[in-house]
Amino acid sequence: MTKDNNNTELFEKMPVARAVATMAAPTVISQLIVLICNMADTFFIGRTDNPYMVAGASLILPVFNITLSLSGLAGVGGGALVSRLLGRKNTEEARKVYSFSVWLSVFSAAFFSIMILLFMRSLMELLGAGSETYPYASRYAFLVLVCGGVPTVLSNTLAALLRSVGESKKAGFGITMGGLINIVLDPLFMFVLLPEGMEITGAGVATCLSNCMACAYFIGILLRKREGSVLRLGSPLRLPARESLIGVFSVGVPSAIATLLFDLDYVVIDRLMSGYGDIALAAVGIVLKAERLPLNVGVGICQGMMPIIAYNYSARNYDRMNAVKNFSLKLGLGCAALSIVLYELFAGQIMHFFIADVQTVSLGTGFLRARVLATPLMFLSFFHVYLFNGFGKGGHALFLGVMRWLVFNIPMLFLLNFLVGMQGLVWSQAAADTLTVFLSLAVYRGFARRGLGEEGKGLG
């Protein structure tokens, strides 16, 4: 393959179950650590019993998630293309695409951070920060988004690019390391090193430093790569072929849009649920966090699967590609089924872990038991999006993403809220993703049937 290591065995010959496990296991672990890390900031800031501080940190979360969109633009778009180019044995073009993706993430993240700095007050006011909340929100945003924007985006981009050449363990270790460092540094800066009243500053410093350390780890790996490696950074002026540039953006842009629409869906749920009182809002907020655990496992499986799919699709090794696809599908659905059993049995205990209020626990237990039933449907929905990203068919992925969020999910929230009320919001995910799954299957079957001449023959 290249001088990186002999990853051709993983992509071409390793038993399917072992190959998927090798790629997916580190990614799943890192996904779970990132989820725990996201909860840790909220948990520790909540120990201050300062509602304005908690609100200030919460306001930044949707904006922080934009950084994940930027890393998806460069990392998913570039990574999928690198895998396909390696499947065609075009290592020189893969090297150019890798370098372009890295510089794209750096420049886009730097621009994003500068815009946040220049328009900080306007952004905070748009998000709803009042006079009491603004000092905390702006302080947290400066540390996490302005100071930490580039390392956050670059870390996630480099992790995706490492996975694209089969280096999933190194990618997973870097993301996991950053998350664990954040969890350790949070209480240290919040309650030990900084004075009382500066807790949100401590959380921001901890998050920024942990992302910088993770970024330094990834840069260190790349600096040790030998001359023949695909993962060698070149000049930002040395662009890949026009076709490759289109390939990066055709997959990267849909990935970024899908991440943004996912966050928009959660914002709409919170806004509509707030009409039923603070207890309902608190309950659904906890449920939305708890349901991310099985979803992140599914995302990790898909992220580990995608480079192998992309490589073998381009190499026209359709038998292996289909074997990887089918195994990953069964694995993801199995994990989703297990999560249903566990959440149905222990929903009350899960809610009580986050909050002791009896009313909130009671209401949230019912919410969680209903929402978890949609887990297999949600997995199937983004599974097909990852498949099309691996094929380089960003238009198909974008179509499914837009249909899922803007045509099915968000309108279903308003419709069921109007018809059924609060419970309609809880069941909207299952209703919307049922439609999404039928559409995804139809689109995939149509693509497999038509294909692209000879390319379509092996798609099962």
Per-residue model confidence (pLDDT) at position 351: 82
Residue burial 422-432, b: 16+ Cβ < 10 Å; e: rest:
bebbbbbbbbb
Are the C-beta atoms of residues 333 and 253 closer than 8 Å to each other? no
Residue tagged 């996975």 (tokens): 163
Question: In whole angstroms, what is the distance from residue 308 CA to residue 377 CA?
Answer: 23
Looking at the fold, whether 405 and 322 belong to one and the same domain comes out as yes
Claim to verify: residue 196 and residue 247 sit in the same structural domain: no
Are 172 and 251 within one domain? Answer: no
Q: What pLDDT does 5 receive?
A: 45
Task: Mark which of 220, 239, 258 sits at the end of a domain.
Answer: 239
Closest by CA to 404, choosing from 371, 355, 438, 366, is 438
Residues of the chain with pLDDT under 70: 1-7, 38-39, 42, 46, 49-51, 54-55, 58-59, 127-129, 225-228, 278, 282, 354-355, 451-460
Query: Are the C-beta atoms of 64 and 148 separated by less than 8 Å?
Result: no
Same domain, 255 and 404: yes
192 & 324 share domain: no
CA 86 – CA 413 distance, rounded (Å): 43
Based on the fold, state whether residues 178 and 48 are members of the same structural domain.
yes
Query: Which of 205, 239, 273 is a domain's end point?
Result: 239
pLDDT digits (tens, 9 = 90+) for 281-327: 767 777 877 888 888 889 889 988 988 898 898 888 888 999 999 99
User: Please, which residues have CB within 8 angstroms of residue 100's CB and are 6 or more apart in sequence?
Assistant: 78, 236, 239, 240, 244, 245, 248
The reply to whether 435 and 378 lie within a common domain is yes
| Contact in structure between 187 and 44 (CB atoms under 8 Å) | yes
Shared-domain flag, residues 268 and 281: yes
> What is this structure's pTM?
0.79
Give the pLDDT confidence score for residue 42 in this predicted structure.
Answer: 66
The distance of Cα 135 from the centroid of its chain, to the nearest Å, equals 29
Give the domain range for residue 211.
Answer: 1-239
Do 95 and 19 fall within a single domain?
yes
Q: Are residues 27 and 117 in the same domain?
A: yes
Q: Are residues 277 and 390 in the same domain?
A: yes
| Same-domain pairing of 383 and 446 | yes
- Provide the pLDDT for residue 154: 92
Domain stops at, among 199, 215, 239: 239
User: For residue 46, what pLDDT is reported?
Assistant: 67
Domain tally, the chain: 2
pLDDT computed for residue 408 by the predictor: 93
